[in-house]
C-alpha cells in the first residue's frame, strides 16, 4: 500500500503504467476504486494515479482541510510529490469541481481536466434546497440517508450489487465530508471558465438525475474549445455503469486534450 503525506494527512494512492500522466479523482465519499474498470486499458500506455482523497477510502480522516480549496491544494501537492508531468486530471462528481478549480488556480501543473458528471452549478433553487435537506438529514441518520440517496445516482436497471458496493464505501467515509455540500451549492465556475488556461472536456451520463445535461452544455459553451461527451443510458456514475463505453470516450478525450495542451 502506498501513501503520500500531504498537508499533514496521509493519502492513499496507486500508481501504475508508463506514459502521459493521468490523475483519477473520485466523487463524494467513494474511493479510487470507482475507476478500477478503466485501469487495465489505460495503464497500457499511460501513467495512471488513482487517489483516495482525504476522508475517503484508505486515506486519513482528519477534521481539518476537507474543503474545496483544501482538496485542490492536496491535488497540487500530490502532483508535485509524485513528480507527475502535467497530468490530465479526471474528476467524477465533486471530484470534477476539484479538477476544474485546480486547472483555474494552478494551470502550470495540469495538462488538462475532464469533468465527469460534475456539478458546475445548480440550475434551480429546488435542486440546491434538496441537497441542503440531505445534508441536514445526514446528521440524524447518516447510514439511512446515504442508503436511500445513492440508488438515485444510477440509471434505472443498474446493478443492485454495484449500488450496494457504492453505498458501503460512502457510509464508511468520514462525516467531515458532509460540509462539502454546503460549499458545493454555492460553487459556480461560470464567470471564470472563459479564462481557463488548460483544456477541459465534459463527460456526462445521459440520464444523470443529480446533475442534468444542461450543466455541462452550459459550462462547455463558456469554455474555449470545450466539448460535451454524453454516455447513453447512464446516470451519475458512467465509469461504473458502462465501463466499456466510458473508457472509449475517455481515451478519445485524453488524445484530444493532449493535442490542445
Q: Which of 38, 51, 96 is nearest to 249 (CA)?
A: 38
What pLDDT score does 259 carry?
83
pTM of the complete model beyond 0.95 = yes
pLDDT level of residue 261 (50, 70, 90 thresholds): confident
What pLDDT score does 92 carry?
98
- Residues 241-254 have pLDDT tens digits of 999 999 999 999 99
Task: State the average pLDDT over residues 210-232.
Answer: 97
Residue 123: strand, helix, or coil: coil
> Which domains, ranges and CATH numbers included, belong to the chain?
2-260 (3.40.50.1820)
Taking the CA of residue 128 as centre, how many other CA atoms within 13 Å lie in the half-sphere pointing to its CB? 13
**Degrees, nearest 5: CA angle 70-72-77:** 95
- Residues 142-192 have pLDDT tens digits of 999 999 999 999 999 999 999 999 999 999 999 999 999 999 999 999 999
Taking the CA of residue 118 as centre, how many other CA atoms within 13 Å lie in the half-sphere pointing to its CB? 34
- C-alpha grid cell, residue 86: 502535467
pLDDT level of residue 117 (50, 70, 90 thresholds): very high
Task: State the average pLDDT over residues 75-95.
Answer: 98
Cβ-based neighbours of 103, under 8 Å, separated by 6 or more: 89, 110, 112, 113, 196, 197, 198, 200
Amino acid at each position: 500500500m502506498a501513501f503520500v503525506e500531504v498537508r499533514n494527512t496521509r493519502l492513499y494512492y496507486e500508481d501504475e503504467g508508463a506514459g502521459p500522466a493521468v490523475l483519477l479523482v473520485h466523487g463524494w465519499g467513494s474511493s479510487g476504486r470507482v475507476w478500477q474498470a478503466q485501469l487495465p486499458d489505460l495503464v497500457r500506455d499511460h501513467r495512471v494515479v488513482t487517489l483516495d482523497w482525504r476522508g475517503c477510502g484508505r486515506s486519513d480522516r482528519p477534521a481539518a482541510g476537507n474543503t474545496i480549496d483544501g482538496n485542490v491544494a492536496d491535488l497540487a501537492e500530490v502532483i508535485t510529490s509524485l513528480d507527475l508531468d502535467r497530468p490530465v486530471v479526471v474528476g467524477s462528481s465533486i471530484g470534477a469541481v476539484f479538477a476544474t478549480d485546480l486547472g483555474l488556480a494552478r494551470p502550470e501543473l495540469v495538462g488538462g481536466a475532464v469533468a465527469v458528471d460534475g456539478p458546475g452549478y445548480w440550475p434551480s433553487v429546488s435542486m440546491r434546497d434538496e441537497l441542503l435537506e440531505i445534508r441536514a438529514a445526514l446528521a440524524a441518520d447518516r447510514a439511512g440517508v446515504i442508503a436511500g440517496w445513492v440508488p438515485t445516482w444510477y440509471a434505472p436497471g443498474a446493478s443492485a450489487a454495484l449500488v450496494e458496493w457504492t453505498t458501503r464505501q460512502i457510509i464508511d467515509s468520514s462525516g467531515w465530508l458532509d460540509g462539502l455540500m454546503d460549499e458545493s451549492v454555492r460553487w459556480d465556475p461560470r464567470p471564470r471558465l472563459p479564462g481557463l488556461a488548460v483544456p477541459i472536456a465534459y463527460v456526462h451520463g445521459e440520464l444523470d438525475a443529480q446533475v442534468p445535461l444542461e450543466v455541462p452544455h452550459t459550462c462547455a459553451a463558456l469554455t474555449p474549445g470545450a466539448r460535451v461527451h454524453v454516455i447513453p443510458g447512464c446516470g451519475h456514475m458512467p465509469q461504473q455503469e458502462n465501463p466499456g463505453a466510458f473508457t472509449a470516450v475517455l481515451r478519445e478525450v485524453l488524445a484530444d486534450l493532449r493535442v490542445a495542451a
